[in-house]
C-alpha cells in the first residue's frame, strides 16, 4: 500500500489535454482552466508565480521542467545555486486610494521534503541567494506584467540577510536598495550576476574575519603568545562556536601565514590575496 503512495512524477502539460468523464470528452481543455485561474497577472498569488517564471527564463530555466509547489527554495541553476524569488508591486488588482508600499518577507522557514513528507527541525533561509522582483510600473492603465521592462530585480546573497541587525522577517525597498547595491533589469539577470553577487559577499565576510583575527592576534602578541594561547583563541572564535577550517585559515593568515592547502576553499584564498593586494 505504501508503495502506491510514493511521490507523484509530474509531467509537463501542453494545455491541449481534455477534460473528460471516463474517456468521454467534455468539450473544454486544460488551457481554458489556465485562462480562468491565472489571467489576472497582477493578483498577488499569480504575480508571485509569474515572477518566479520570469527569473527562471532569464536564467535559462523552466523551458522543459515544471514548478515544484512545495520545494524548500524556488529555483536552482545547473551549477547548484539555490534561488528564492520574492515579488511585490505598487499596483494591485483591487481599488486603491494610493500605491502600495513595497515590503518583502524574508522570514526563515523549515524545509519540507516532498519525497519523505518530513519537515526539518531547523528554521533557516534555504536558498543561497534571493532575487527580489519588483513590478515597478506605477500607471494602472498601462500595467503589463508580461513586459519585462516594467520589472526591476534586486540580488541579495542569503548571508547578507542573515547578518542584518534589523528585522529578520521583512525588508523595505529602501533597505533592499542599500543591501543589494541597486536594481538590475531582465537582460542583466543571469547566472554570472548571481555568482558575482555571491562572491562579493564571500569576499566581504572573509575580509571582516581577517580584520577581526588581526586584532585578536595583535592583542595576544602584546602578551607574549604561547601555543596554548593560540589554541584557546582558535577554540573560542566567534563567541564559543567551533572553529571551521575556513576560520582557522583566516586566523593563521592574520598572523602572516599563507597556507596553500587544497582543502582551503578557493574563495577564501582569493579573498585573502585580494585583501593583501589592496
Tens digit of pLDDT for each residue in 78-111? Answer: 888 889 999 999 999 999 999 999 999 998 888 8
Query: Does 23 reside within a domain?
Result: no
- Mean local confidence (pLDDT), 62-69: 89
Q: Is the pLDDT of residue 249 over 90?
A: no
Query: Does 15 reside within a domain?
Result: no
Residue 69's pLDDT band (cuts 50, 70, 90) = confident
From start to end of 126-250, where are the E strands? 129-135, 151-157, 170-172
Q: What's the DSSP call for residue 187?
A: G
Number of Cβ within a 10 Å radius of residue 1: 4
Considering the domain architecture, whether residues 56 and 121 belong to the same structural domain is answered as yes
Query: Does 250 reside within a domain?
Result: yes
The pLDDT tens digits of the residues spanning 151-202 come to 999 999 888 898 887 778 899 999 999 998 899 999 988 877 887 877 776 6
Q: Give the SS3 label for residue 9.
A: coil
Considering the domain architecture, whether residues 212 and 183 belong to the same structural domain is answered as no
Considering the domain architecture, whether residues 218 and 105 belong to the same structural domain is answered as no
Q: Is the pLDDT of residue 223 over 60?
A: no
Task: Tell me the C-alpha distance between 258 and 86, whole Å.
Answer: 41
pLDDT for the residue numbered 189: 87
Please return the burial class of 255, using the count of CB atoms within 10 Å of its CB with bins 0-12, 13-18 and 19+: middle
Q: Containing domain of residue 266, as a range?
A: 200-277
Enumerate long-range contacts of 269-276, CB under 8 Å, 24 or more apart: 270/203, 271/202, 271/203, 271/206, 271/207, 272/206, 272/210, 274/203, 275/206, 275/207, 275/210
pTM (predicted TM-score): 0.72
Tally of structural domains, the chain: 2
Nearest to 52 by CA among 200, 196, 189: 189
Residues in Cβ contact with 23 at an 8 Å cutoff, skipping those fewer than 6 apart: none
Considering the domain architecture, whether residues 148 and 265 belong to the same structural domain is answered as no
pLDDT for the residue numbered 270: 56
Sign of CA dihedral 26, 39, 109, 69: positive
Domain boundary (142, 159, 189) is at 189
Considering the domain architecture, whether residues 59 and 175 belong to the same structural domain is answered as yes
Considering the domain architecture, whether residues 163 and 55 belong to the same structural domain is answered as yes
Nearest to 250 by CA among 207, 199, 219: 207
Amino acid at each position: 500500500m505504501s508503495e502506491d503512495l510514493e511521490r507523484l512524477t509530474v509531467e509537463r502539460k501542453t494545455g491541449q489535454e481534455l477534460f473528460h468523464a471516463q474517456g468521454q470528452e467534455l468539450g473544454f481543455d486544460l488551457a481554458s482552466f489556465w485562462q480562468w485561474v491565472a489571467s489576472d497577472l497582477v493578483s498577488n498569488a499569480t504575480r508571485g508565480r509569474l515572477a518566479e517564471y520570469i527569473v527562471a527564463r532569464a536564467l535559462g530555466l523552466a523551458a522543459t521542467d515544471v514548478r515544484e509547489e512545495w520545494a524548500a527554495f524556488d529555483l536552482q541553476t545547473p551549477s547548484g545555486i539555490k534561488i528564492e524569488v520574492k515579488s511585490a508591486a505598487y499596483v494591485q488588482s483591487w481599488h486603491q486610494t494610493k500605491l502600495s508600499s513595497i515590503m518583502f518577507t524574508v522570514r526563515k522557514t523549515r524545509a519540507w521534503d516532498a519525497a519523505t513528507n518530513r519537515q526539518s527541525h531547523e528554521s533557516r533561509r534555504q536558498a543561497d541567494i534571493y532575487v527580489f522582483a519588483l513590478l515597478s510600473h506605477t500607471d494602472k492603465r498601462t500595467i503589463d506584467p508580461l513586459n519585462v521592462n516594467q520589472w526591476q530585480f534586486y540580488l541579495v546573497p542569503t548571508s547578507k540577510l542573515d547578518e542584518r541587525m534589523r528585522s529578520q522577517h521583512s525588508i523595505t525597498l529602501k533597505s533592499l536598495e542599500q543591501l543589494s547595491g541597486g536594481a538590475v533589469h531582465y537582460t542583466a539577470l543571469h547566472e554570472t550576476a548571481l555568482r558575482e553577487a555571491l562572491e562579493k559577499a564571500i569576499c566581504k565576510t572573509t575580509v571582516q574575519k581577517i580584520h577581526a583575527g588581526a586584532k585578536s592576534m595583535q592583542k595576544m602578541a602584546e602578551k607574549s603568545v604561547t601555543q596554548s594561547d593560540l589554541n584557546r583563541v582558535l577554540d573560542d572564535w566567534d563567541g564559543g562556536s567551533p572553529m571551521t577550517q575556513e576560520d582557522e585559515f583566516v586566523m593563521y593568515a592574520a598572523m602572516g601565514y599563507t597556507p596553500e592547502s587544497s582543502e582551503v576553499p578557493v574563495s577564501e584564498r582569493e579573498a585573502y590575496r585580494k585583501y593583501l593586494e589592496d
